[in-house]
Amino acid sequence: MVTSRYDRQLKIEQIGEVGQANLEKANVLVIGVGGLGSYVSSELVKAGVGSITLVDFDQVELTNLHRQNLYTEADVENGLGKLEAMQEHLQAANSNVKINTIEQKYSSELINDQYQLVIDCTDNFPVKYQINHDCFEKNVPHIFATCAGNQGQAMFIRSTDDACLECLYPKQDIAKLGLSANIGTNPMIVAITGSLEASMALKFLTRPEKVVPGKLMVVDNWNFDFRKIRVHVSSKCPLHGGNN
């Protein structure tokens, strides 16, 4: 008897054969394959997502290796772009998954309804706001996440009825948020936050009816503090008709 590569996954009651079949039909867009994106992509491909499209434009650098999963010293020495290296490593992990790449900076036309889910793995808040806006306008579910220092955050946004990034962080407050380039990044918080995004994605793609949006997960992996915060639609959010 041949054992499925997803044997341990299929035994999970909340996934099972129905959930696995849903996952294998899914088409996902991952924007950014740096710290968060490399973990998200790796976990979803190994779990058996049907099709995944990766968007990035950077080269693999030595400073990436402490926190960006799968990249190697050989990728740096060979001058590989992140997409080329990531596609090679992911395809070697699971040849059954269709892996597409788009080598460019983010642009709005990338968001469309061929994707069941968009996963924001960028490290640039102006781009995050644009992704949030584009997914809201086109009513495409997406997952927001950020991490820097020892703290990570992630939130699933299903539709225009849900609280979005601008409900959570009005644009004028962006300067208050730490960025990894300025304050550094604990590599373990990248793994935890990326795995949170991948977990949210897996739950939505396998059992979408079980997902409750609008809950921000906040993790501090130095103090081992885990919080779940309910985020409500803001009356000041411009996407929801307010005047921020």
Average pLDDT by consecutive 10-residue portion of the chain (244 residues)? 80 95 97 96 97 97 93 96 97 97 97 97 93 97 94 96 94 61 81 97 96 93 96 94 73
Q: CA 144 to CA 136: how far, in whole Å?
A: 12
234 domain-assigned: yes
pLDDT of residue 172: 74
Residue 41 sits in a domain whose CATH number is 3.40.50.720
What the block records as the tokens of 35 is 């710290």
Using alpha carbons only, give the angle 76, 125, 50 rounded to the nearest 5 degrees. Answer: 65
What's the CA gap between 218 and 125, in Å, rounded? 17
pLDDT at 1: 39
Domain for residue 1, yes or no? Answer: no
Give the residues across from 155 on adjacent strands.
144, 216
Q: Which domain holds residue 24?
A: 7-240
Domain count, the chain: 1
Residue 2 lies in a domain: no
